[in-house]
Amino acid sequence: MHDDIWALIVEADAHSLIAISNLLKELGIRYKRNTTGANVIEQIRRMQPRPHFILLDLDLPQGDARLISKLIERDHIIGGIPVIAIAQTTALDRPSHLQRSGFAGFIRKPLPRHQFGDMIAHVLQGGDLWEARV
């Protein structure tokens, strides 16, 4: 990918944050981090350049990921940024709940190292990640 692509990682788990950061570095994607879920909307609005996509953990200590995704989707400034849910659980039991919350898809942790770049490229081209992509 290219150095001009930016991401925001919203992830509380230190090990997952390191793994995700390393994957993005390998792809040449620059990123900012939020480790709690607090003040995410304000952080996105302040980011320059704005992120091209957001990886949002579903289990945050200081934020409701579904509400954060809805607020991003409804915001007139940042509403077009795709938000990808990430979690260790099988959140796809009810993918319609995530879709209604504005997510562009779901990736189960640990993130699939070999497919991750293709998954991100697919979302950046306007696709979603609701079907298994192997």
Contact 119, 20 (CB under 8 A): no
Q: What is the pTM of this model?
A: 0.93
Mind listing the domains of the chain with CATH numbers?
Answer: 6-124 (3.40.50.2300)
Distance, CA of 132 to CA of 134 (rounded, Å): 6
CA 21 to chain CA centroid, nearest Å: 12
Closest to 27 measured CA to CA, from 131, 125, 120, 117: 117
Q: Above 80 in pLDDT, residue 74?
A: yes
- Give the helix/strand (H/E) hosting 84: strand 83-87
Phi and psi at residue 27, to the nearest 5° = -85, -5
Tell me the H-state helices in the chain.
Answer: 14-26, 40-46, 65-74, 95-100, 116-124
Q: What percent of the chain has pLDDT over 90?
A: 81
Does residue 131 carry a pLDDT above 80? Answer: no
- 27-44 mean pLDDT: 96
27-41, 91-105, 113-127 — which is least confidently predicted? Answer: 91-105
Mean pLDDT of the chain: 91
Phi/psi at 99 (5° precision): -60, -45
d(CA 82, CA 84): 7
